[in-house]
Structure 1
Amino acid sequence: MAGVGRPRAFDPDVVLDAAIDVFWRRGYEGASLSELTAAMGIKPPSLYATFGDKARLFQSALRRYVDRNMGYITDALAQPTAFAVAAAFLTGNVIAVTTPGRPAGCLSVQAAVATEGSTQLAHLTENRARIQCLFADRFRRAINEGDLREDEDPDELAAFLITVSSGFAIRAADGVTRESLLAMARHALTGFPTPLSTSRFAEHQATDPKDHTHA
């Protein structure tokens, strides 16, 4: 009975961050329980007691990843025009997928590439779909406000951004530099309606990268 009520000897957020790193590099199926517990510095009974099984650990890790690394999405959605939304999102995404000190790319993309035939793949797909819906809703608002033409398709514009950003994650994992990806973002934005001038887009690039590294 001595252990009853004893507080955990570890910080759940710290060990979740370690699990994120393993899932990010190895995918869901590729991340073994022994590899996860070794990285997290805990024993399997502690993992099960705190997070449940491996599947629920992955879901907790994905939620923490989104909360910790994707705040740039919220910042982008708050921009005053549709083009500014797109520019802020793609710029923030490039900065996030090329942040020193953590794996290149994006957990939801890299893990999906390494995850096949799993319910966890559905969670990753649903996560991207939720983000895409947020942008589609924002572009519908832009149409209602007269910022976008009425004949624009908000769902197509949102899908365009998610597709481009997913490509950035894969290319970042290939070792493509931040500067090259930002140049690709500029080219991608030429296909977005009512574009800003190159000089105004440069203002988005000039934002302090530290503003996005916790996104």
Structure 2
Amino acid sequence: MEVFWKLGYEGASIAELTEAMGITAPSLYAAFGSKAELYRQALERYQADQGSFTARALDEEPTARGAMERVLRESAKHFPRRKQLAGCMVSAAVLTCAPENKPIAEHVAGLRAGALKRFEDCLRNGIAQGELPAETNATAMARYFGAVIQGMTVQAQDGASEAELLGIVEIAMQTWPAPRPAGTRGTTRGKAPVGGSA
């Protein structure tokens, strides 16, 4: 997992992977079938381990705002921890690749799409609970937070500190729209909804 995280899918050689795992190349292929399958399992391991804070935040926080803010703050805490393994292993993975590796790129894009769906579901729940204005565009807002996390990944890889990433979090949360007071119509008071139609 760490070799892939550090070097990327295409950058990680079979020799580097087998050295890290303490096995031979034939043993790697016997256990996993291919480098691609090993990478898929490494991504699963990441999501269940170092990247699990996102799912926990979405599952445990009682409000949509609390969940999204916790995801961002946990990202700011975890992303800069180790220079060579900075950021999220999934957010910026396999953005470009050789044509023969397109299935891997599509797999990782699917993981990112799954995260956006979790964000959108969280935000839609916030709308249903009256925490967000009814006209809030949950899809666009989910993509906004996804873009913030991807940007934080790149900046962590470029050396941004936890404090610097937390500054991004503070600005991002200022875009959170205020709920519309009951019985009012027209323009939402407070911040305009991200991607909203009002």
Question: 5+ residue gaps in structure 1?
Answer: 1-19, 196-215
**1:141 corresponds to which of 115, 125, 129:** 125
Which whole-Å CA distance do the structure 2 matches of 1:171 and 1:182 have between them? 12
The percentage of counterpart residues that share the same residue type is: 34
Give the match for residue 154 of structure 1: 138
Which amino acid in structure 2 is aligned with residue 45 of structure 1? P
Give the match for residue 46 of structure 2: 65
Q: 1:172 to 1:49 in 2, by over 3 A?
A: same
Which amino acid in structure 1 is aligned with residue 160 of structure 2? V
Give the match for residue 190 of structure 1: 174
Q: Is the 8 A contact 2:83 2:159 kept in 1?
A: no
Which amino acid in structure 1 is aligned with residue 89 of structure 2? L
Which whole-Å CA distance do the structure 1 matches of 2:98 and 2:141 have between them? 28
Q: Does residue 172 of structure 1 match 2:153?
A: no
When the two structures are superposed, what TM-score results if normalisation uses the length of structure 2?
A: 0.82
Deviation at 1:119, TM superposition (A): 1.4
Question: 5+ residue gaps in structure 2?
Answer: 180-198
Deviation at 1:116, TM superposition (A): 4.7
Which whole-Å CA distance do the structure 2 matches of 1:188 and 1:40 have between them? 40
Q: Does residue 111 of structure 1 match 2:93?
A: yes
Q: CA RMSD in A?
A: 1.8
Q: 1:115 to 1:99 in 2, by over 3 A?
A: farther
Deviation at 1:114, TM superposition (A): 6.0
Q: Does residue 28 of structure 1 match 2:9?
A: yes
When the two structures are superposed, what TM-score results if normalisation uses the length of structure 1?
A: 0.76
Which whole-Å CA distance do the structure 1 matches of 2:25 and 2:156 have between them? 33
RCO higher in structure (CA 8 A, sep ≥6)? 1
Give the match for residue 79 of structure 1: 61
Larger helix proportion of the pair: 1
Which whole-Å CA distance do the structure 2 matches of 1:147 and 1:45 have between them? 55
The count of corresponding residues between Structure 1 and Structure 2 is 176
Q: 1:116 to 1:167 in 2, by over 3 A?
A: farther
